[in-house]
Amino acid sequence: MPQKVVCFVIVLLLLSDSPRGRLAGALELLPRDRFLLADNGPGPLPPGRTVVVLDDRLASLPGRVDIPARCPAILSGQCQAAAQYAQRAGLLPLDCGLSLRDTLTLSSSTESSAVVSLQRPVARLDGEMVEPVEVPLALTRRWEPFPLLCCAGALLLAGGPAALLEARSF
């Protein structure tokens, strides 16, 4: 059965000590017709269409941010501040990293390819479940692991493995 891909624009809310850093640069490579990188400006964020991305270099807990209830959050499994914030805000964490405990990891990586590995089922934004899977990616540039996993996580949440395979962001 073919998988559907979510067709509305997804808001990526980046919470970082340095909003214009390497992670923002990576997220901006995602298709602009499907992803909008936002800061915590005025106005409510759309429920069911927002994904919070917590920087792995986050040093302090963000202040009050108006995030929809049970919003997915992509974060580093190694960043204590991000994990604490996600728990306190009631977010649904998608932990990324190179540890076996992380939900989204790389099972292999070279300069020209990577295999993204989803270790546990996660719910997409439309509520459908994505089962554990490995997705090979051809890379057109050098990637640090965490930004690569954040982009892969956003695509998985939007449309599952099909969205990752169709992406030309890497």
pLDDT at 60: 76
96 CB burial (10 A radius; 0-12, 13-18, 19+): buried
Q: Measured between alpha carbons, how far is 117 from 60 in angstroms, rounded to an integer?
A: 29
pLDDT at 18: 75
Q: How many CB atoms lie within 10 A of CB 78?
A: 16
pLDDT at 6: 44
Q: Measured between alpha carbons, how far is 23 from 147 in angstroms, rounded to an integer?
A: 5
Q: Which of 138, 157, 128, 151 shows the shortest CA–CA distance to 2?
A: 128
pLDDT at 81: 87
Q: Residue 11 has what DSSP assignment?
A: E
pLDDT at 42: 58
pLDDT at 169: 83
Stretches in the chain below the pLDDT threshold 70? 1-8, 19, 39-43
Q: Which of 74, 98, 83, 93 shows the shortest CA–CA distance to 151?
A: 74
- This prediction's pTM: 0.91
pLDDT at 5: 45
